[in-house]
Structure 1
């Protein structure tokens, strides 16, 4: 599961993960190890443009991934919503070391900019690309539960 949920997305993640829009997408952005800010600082950013305008560097050699398989399950037994996505693979990963993957929601892929992409979660992910394939195994991407 993610290490933090961004404040702007609290309570919205399950809805966004259902991809309700006609031209929306979930995007994964690798963030370089060098210069990454603390979780406490990161969680206050409201859009991807602000995250990348600060000290955080996108690892653009590996590139962004668009998530194509999302499963949202309503678990009435445990009183929660569970979100899972397929594992993601970067082929022949190269470039600078990464420290995190940021999962974000792009509400309109046809004309938006990074300032229109809302960060959902940040997952710690320490990896130094060496030219081999890199697969991020994602188990229990996100859960939201109600109080008993």
Structure 2
């Protein structure tokens, strides 16, 4: 489950995760332990380029992953919207330690830059790559509900 929802994504999370555009996707970006900013700072970034221009660093050796089997659906029984995806595996993970992953909405996978990627959620993940495969289990990466 997400540790934070970025301010830019509040109220839009269900829409973005429904993948409404022709060439859109959700992209998972690993963030290095070194330099990672506090949640109170991170949540204010409005695009991935700005996030990475700050103190936080992308762990580029492991690389970004496009989420597969994304589901986004209403759950009337529990009065919420559930967002899920298939687990993500990095084969022979190497490079610097990570402390988080950020899931971003990419409105057009055929072009664009990090300035086009909207950060949706940040998840605390502690991992030091050692050459082994690393699988990140995703179970409802976010839920949205009213506070009624």
Q: TM-score, normalised by structure 2?
A: 0.97
Deviation at 1:147, TM superposition (A): 3.6
Write out the 4+ residue segments of structure 1 that deviate beyond 6 Å after TM superposition.
Answer: none
Tell me the C-alpha RMSD between the 2 structures.
0.8
In structure 1, the gaps of 5 or more residues are none
Note if 1:141 corresponds to 2:136. no
CA distance in 2, matches of 1:44, 1:147: 22
* Secondary structure class of the residue paired with 2:101: strand
SS in 2 for 1:125: strand
Partner of 1:106: 106
How far apart, CA to CA, are the structure 2 residues paired with 1:111 and 1:84? 25
What SS does the aligned partner of 1:69 have? coil
For residues 147 and 32 of structure 1, the distance between their equivalents in structure 2, rounded to whole angstroms, comes to 33
Structure 1 match to 2:6: 6
CA distance in 1, matches of 2:78, 2:67: 26
Partner of 1:51: 51
Shift of 1:58: 0.4
Residue by residue over 1:13-70, the C-alpha shift from the partner in whole angstroms, topping out at 9 and shown as x without a partner, is 1111111101111000000000000000000000000000011110000000001211
Between the aligned partners of 2:23 and 2:82, the Cα distance in structure 1 is 23
Q: How many residues align?
A: 148
Name the CA distance, whole Å, in 2 between partners of 1:55 and 1:146.
Answer: 33
What pairs up with 1:1-148 in 2 under 5 angstroms?
1-148=1-148
Shift of 1:126: 0.6
